[in-house]
Amino acid sequence: MKLSFIVPTKNEETTPGVIREIYRTFGKDAEVIVIDKSEPRYRNPLYKTGAKIVVQKRGVYEHALVDGFRMAHGDILASIDPDGTYSVKDLKKLVDYTARHKEYAYVGGDRLDCPEAAMPGTIRLGNRLFGVLATVLMGQSMRDTFSGSFAMQRSAYDQIRKMDAYIAGPTIFQMALARKGFKVKCIPITYRPRRGSKSKISGFKPLFAFKLAFNMIKGRFS
């Protein structure tokens, strides 16, 4: 069984360590594709990791994911944010669960029981509310739809691979899969305080939250 990992990154000094840990955990045969939007001082160390480095030429985080998965060849496709908040040990947990439970097309990490230091109250509340919205839209129980650590079945992804990106985090894959009648699931993972870079999302941003909600609804029914 071939495994592919998409690592979207932008100016995160923890990325090389995460890539090396992926290889230690899953073996050198794992396919690791880094979609990088970094400045040269962050990008140059990536070339020493053995991963495939692709300079991101369009869009934002969601575009990095969509473009990266289109390049991947694995039977199971997975992703992890390399900012230090997610652990590769938990990524293995997600990949193993996906391999064992083929009835689920998508298995995401559930971070919502993490310590306050890792996820401030406003962000946690927002994630819970988006989880409720996703549950209503998808007709399936979902708690943490924006988790940056997840895995997908290749056979299911092949039916949505022509999708394009829009601003809604990894939820874009879940919505696309739900439209095709696939099942998705969240399982608990750990979540740690960010190391080496500042969060790109902090505090309560009503307009951004509204845009996310609108895009989730649009993505479910468009």
Confidence (pLDDT) at 200: 52
Please give the Cα distance from 37 to 127 (Å, whole number). Answer: 25
| 24-55 tens-digit pLDDT | 999 999 999 999 999 999 999 999 999 999 99
Q: What pLDDT is attached to residue 198?
A: 57
Residue range 99-139, pLDDT digits in tens: 999 999 999 999 998 888 889 888 899 999 999 999 999 88
Separation between Cα atoms, residue 4 and residue 73, nearest integer Å? 7
Confidence of residue 219 (pLDDT cuts 50, 70, 90): confident
Query: Can you tell me whether residue 132 is helix, strand or coil?
Result: helix
Residue 202 phi/psi, 5-degree rounding, is: -145, 145
Confidence of residue 204 (pLDDT cuts 50, 70, 90): low
**Residue 155's domain is classified under what CATH number?**
3.90.550.10
Strands (E), the chain: 3-9, 31-36, 52-55, 76-80, 104-110, 149-153, 183-188
Count other Cβ atoms within 10 Å, centred on residue 4.
22
> Which backbone phi and psi does 190 adopt, to 5 degrees?
-85, 160
Q: What is the pLDDT of residue 38?
A: 96
**Residue 28's CB: how many other CB atoms inside 10 A?**
8
Residue 161 has pLDDT above 90, yes or no: yes
List the structure tokens of 112: 């919502």
Question: For residue 65, what pLDDT is reported?
Answer: 97
84 pLDDT higher than 90: yes
State the average pLDDT over residues 142-166.
Answer: 95
Name the amino acid, one letter, at 25: T
Phi, psi of 201 (to 5 degrees): -130, 115
Structural domain count, the chain: 1
Mean pLDDT of 96-100: 98
pLDDT at residue 118, as a whole number: 87
In the chain the first and final C-alpha atoms are separated, in Å, by 34
Q: Would you say 35 and 56 are in contact if contact means Cβ atoms under 8 Å apart?
A: yes
Give the DSSP letter string of 12-71. Answer: -TTHHHHHHHHHHHH-TTSEEEEEE---HHHHGGGGGSSSEEEE--SSSHHHHHHHHHHH
Per the structure, the complete domain to which residue 27 belongs is given by 3-221
